Amino acid sequence: MNVVSVTPPRRMLRQRLSLAWQFGIAGGLVLVLGMALIGLWVTSRIESATVRNTGSATALYVDSIIAPLTQELASGTSLGEGAKRALTETLQQGVLRGRLYSFKIWRPDATVLFSSESSLVGKHFSMTEGLATALAGTVHAEFDDLEGEENKLEQQSDQPLLEIYSPIREPWSGDIIGVAEFYEVASDLRAELAVTRLQSWLVVGTVTAGMLALLFVIVARGSHLIDAQRRSLDAQVLELSRMLDLNRALRQRADKANQRTATLNERYLRRISAELHDGPAQLLGFAALRLEAIAKGTAKGDDESLVSSSITEAIQEIRNICRGLTLPELERLSGDDVVRRAIQAHETHSRSRIISDVGSLDVAAQAAKICIYRFIQEALSNATRHAGASRISVTAFQDDQQIVIAVEDNGTGFVRAGNEDGLGLAGIEERLAGLGGRLDITSDASAGTALRMILPRRPSE
């Protein structure tokens, strides 16, 4: 069954678009959204300020004309007929006629005292926001939605109206004695606000586009540099990978060479074994026969000198030959069986008991098996012959990376002289080094000696 991998659309889009275009799209969305919010805020502030300033200017103008006619409110709750007639003439015939669409005067309790719509006079309405603001001493101006019963006249208008509430004050005390509400025809103001709004959006849009273009150019240059560096790094990684493969191949060749060297060394030891049998063994056999003849009283006159010279010659030859015998039987044994074989051989020859804890050891290479056997053989021999140990233990285990074999005793310890000629521990170290392993030695006169060989696990050759 063939498995087809499907790349998510978002990932495909990121792979197709360069870093600059990814930034351009994401940054453009963020900038457009941000500038839209800023544009809305700026235009609303401009419109609010324009309406407020226009309303304040109109209120000041109206107040200069209307306030003198309504001062009766300071001492009463209504306007006299003379004041009403003067207000009517001012609104219908005076300078305010062409500027104002409608007009009302409110008492502080939200009752209409005077209005250009006579049907509203004397009626009481609910307090509006604009009326409350004016009673607090502040001019209120806005484009009203003309809802409410008090705005029936204004609802009939087909043109935009600016609603303005202006407080009426007593000149000498400054107390608010009423509120003037009037609707100014605001067609020109609407048109001016539309032009201002358009200009504001053009400025915001131009600034946004300029910022986005400038940032895009900067990111595009950085993206081009990053792409160039990435290509260079890819080429370097490819070259490093090739060198690693080459080094790995060289390491494998070196490992094979080390294992072949260890095998050749064992063959050399086989020849040395033959020399021991044909040389020193024969001399010692001859000396044994002469000693038997001397014991029986049938010796010749020069037998004693012959025995002495034969033994001396055999010892000399033995010293000149590398010690140790070949171990062809190890080829068919597992790693843990090799450890047990070495322990058993030592117990047989030394007539001592070794404490052992041997786990399963996966060892296939003959050179590694020989190295393990020689290490245990040498370590147990040293502990028995030189350390005077009463307790000797062997521990062997493996993990995913290495094989560890430790020999510990409670003997007298030792200090290496550093001038070994290739035999003993020095020879073991050479074997381990050839197989990529190492030998750790810890020795103390009071605590004994611990020898640990660490051999890396590798595929069998």
Q: Can you give the CATH number for the domain in which 108 is found?
A: 3.30.450.20
Residues 460 and 345 occupy one common structural domain? yes
User: 450 has which bridge partners?
Assistant: 408, 442
Structure-model confidence comparison of residues 372 and 310, the more confident one: 372
Q: Kindly report the number of other CB atoms within 10 A of residue 136's CB atom.
A: 10
> Can you tell me the distance from the alpha carbon of 162 to that of 150, in angstroms, rounded to the nearest whole number?
15
- Locus of tokens 């600034």: 207
- Locus of tokens 């010279």: 309
Residue 73 lies in a domain: yes
> Can you tell me the distance from the alpha carbon of 176 to that of 135, in angstroms, rounded to the nearest whole number?
7
Residue 216 lies in a domain: no
Mean pLDDT of the chain: 76
- Residue 43: its pLDDT value, please? 74
Residue 236 lies in a domain: no
CATH number of the CATH domain containing 354: 3.30.565.10
> Can you tell me the distance from the alpha carbon of 153 to that of 116, in angstroms, rounded to the nearest whole number?
9
Residue 115 lies in a domain: yes
Query: Has residue 8 got a pLDDT over 70?
Result: no
Domain with 177 in it:
21-193
Residues 27 and 100 occupy one common structural domain? yes
Residues 33 and 167 occupy one common structural domain? yes
Structure-model confidence comparison of residues 373 and 13, the more confident one: 373
Residue 235 lies in a domain: no
Sign of CA dihedral 254, 255, 256, 260: positive
Residues 188 and 50 occupy one common structural domain? yes
The amino acid present at 114, given as its one-letter code, is F
Residues 291 and 405 occupy one common structural domain? no
Residues 163 and 30 occupy one common structural domain? yes
| Count of the separate structural domains present in the chain | 3
Residues 29 and 107 occupy one common structural domain? yes
Residue 16 lies in a domain: no
To the question of pTM greater than 0.95 for the whole model, the response is: no
Residue 298 lies in a domain: yes
Residues 298 and 170 occupy one common structural domain? no
Residues 303 and 395 occupy one common structural domain? no
Tens digits of residue pLDDT in 24-40: 777 778 777 877 787 77
Phi, psi for residue 147 in degrees, rounded to 5: -90, 160
Structure-model confidence comparison of residues 252 and 63, the more confident one: 252
pLDDT (mean) for 121-131: 81
Residue 116 and residue 89 in contact, taking contact as beta carbons nearer than 8 Å: no
Residues 88 and 63 occupy one common structural domain? yes
Of the CA atoms within 13 Å of residue 307, those in its CB half-sphere come to 15
Residues 439 and 375 occupy one common structural domain? yes
- Picking from 326, 360, 389, the residue at the C-terminal end of a domain is 326
Residue 214 lies in a domain: no
Residue 113 and residue 83 in contact, taking contact as beta carbons nearer than 8 Å: no
Q: Kindly report the number of other CB atoms within 10 A of residue 175's CB atom.
A: 12
Residue-wise over 138-150: b if at least 16 C-beta within 10 A, else e? ebbbbebebeeeb
Place 108 in a pLDDT band, splitting at 50, 70 and 90. Answer: confident
Tens digits of residue pLDDT in 308-330: 777 877 776 676 554 444 454 77
| Distant-in-sequence, close-in-space partners of 271: CB < 8 Å, separation ≥ 6 | none
* SS3 per residue for 50-109: HHHHHHHHHHHHHHHHHHHHHHHHHCCCCCCHHHHHHHHHHHHHCCCCCCEEEEEEECCC
Residues 322 and 443 occupy one common structural domain? no
The amino acid present at 164, given as its one-letter code, is I
- Picking from 142, 158, 193, the residue at the C-terminal end of a domain is 193
Size (the chain), residues: 461
Q: Kindly report the number of other CB atoms within 10 A of residue 89's CB atom.
A: 12
Query: Has residue 96 got a pLDDT over 70?
Result: no
Query: Has residue 422 got a pLDDT over 60?
Result: no
In terms of Cα–Cα distance, which of 105, 118, 102 is closest to 73? Answer: 105
- Residue 397: its pLDDT value, please? 93
- Picking from 193, 216, 238, the residue at the C-terminal end of a domain is 193
